[in-house]
């Protein structure tokens, strides 16, 4: 009788321990959560579902950078793939006599990009950032509407929201769409820039046309504080420029130069004083 009672007691103990363990699990912070569910901290703003809601939320976040002036750091990188460089006669007509010119293009490209290929900088907390953060010179950072974009996606991972905004192909005539969020220099400013002055003795750039493809904005948000942690602007320009050869290139006369320019600019933010920003690495893998 005594042995039967001890055996029954042992069974009851095992069963009770099994039930207790089955109702416990480890939470994300390694502590035991006895409720059987993973705890979730509600963000200040609920996850948005459609283009209109996501874009409105994004606009509020980036525009607050101009108003609340957090510390800002940035990295910009410009890349032109040598394989995209090509010189032809006007109208795209290929000419075997242009081979030596085509061979010289990568060197001219490097000359133009020497001082602007990679740039970085920062602005202290509480300082004006209008000349650093997009759109430069404006009191706002985004005036995008749903008609300007292709899609807006927002996902929640841990205490972050990840927002991605994409654009369709945009022609030179419609560049004003990108100017609502991206930094775009006008033609006169670009053609008269120091980088183009470097090749002035070889080429006279008369005009250019740019079609923008693969443009996107990606943002990381702290959903618990409703603040922007980082944002990256990616822009690809398919450029065709009309030019005239000078001096050693004079024999080539009027030509067209084609290239694909990839521009990636990343910003990071700190919304507290006495903390430094950590510039984002935009170097391609």
Contact status, residue 254 vs residue 242, Cβ threshold 8 Å: yes
- pLDDT value for 20: 45
Is residue 251 within 8 A of residue 98, CB to CB? The reply is: no
- Position 268 scores a pLDDT of 98
* CA pair distance 277, 125, nearest whole angstrom: 9
Low-confidence stretches of the chain (pLDDT beneath 50):
5-15, 17-34, 280-285
Is pTM beyond 0.75? Reply is yes
pLDDT of residue 178: 94
Task: Report pLDDT for 91.
Answer: 78
* Contact criterion met (CB below 8 Å) for 164 and 51: no
What pLDDT score was predicted for residue 144? 98
């Amino acid at each position: 009788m005594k042995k039967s009672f001890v055996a029954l007691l042992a069974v009851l103990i095992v069963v009770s321990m099994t039930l207790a363990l089955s109702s416990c699990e480890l939470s994300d912070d390694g502590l035991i959560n006895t409720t059987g569910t993973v705890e979730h901290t509600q963000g200040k703003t609920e996850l948005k579902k459609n283009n209109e809601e996501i874009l409105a939320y994004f606009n509020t976040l980036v525009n607050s950078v101009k108003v609340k002036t957090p510390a800002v750091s940035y990295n910009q990188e410009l890349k032109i793939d040598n394989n995209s460089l090509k010189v032809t006669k006007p109208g795209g007509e290929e000419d075997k006599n242009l081979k030596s010119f085509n061979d010289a293009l990568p060197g001219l490209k490097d000359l133009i990009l020497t001082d602007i290929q990679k740039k970085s900088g920062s602005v202290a907390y509480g300082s004006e950032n209008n000349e650093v953060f997009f759109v430069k010179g404006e009191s706002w950072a985004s005036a995008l509407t749903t008609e300007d974009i292709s899609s807006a996606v927002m996902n929640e991972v841990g205490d972050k929201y990840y927002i991605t905004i994409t654009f369709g192909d945009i022609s030179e005539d419609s560049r004003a769409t990108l100017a609502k969020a991206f930094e775009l220099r006008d033609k006169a400013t670009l053609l008269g820039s120091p980088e183009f002055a470097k090749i002035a003795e070889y080429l006279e750039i008369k005009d250019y046309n740019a079609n923008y493809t693969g443009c996107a904005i990606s943002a990381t948000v702290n959903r618990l504080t409703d603040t922007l942690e980082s944002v990256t602007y990616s822009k690809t320009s398919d450029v065709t420029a009309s030019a005239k050869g000078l001096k050693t290139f004079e024999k080539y006369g009027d030509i067209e130069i084609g290239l694909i320019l990839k521009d990636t600019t990343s910003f990071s933010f700190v919304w507290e004083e006495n903390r430094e920003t950590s510039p984002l690495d935009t170097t391609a893998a």
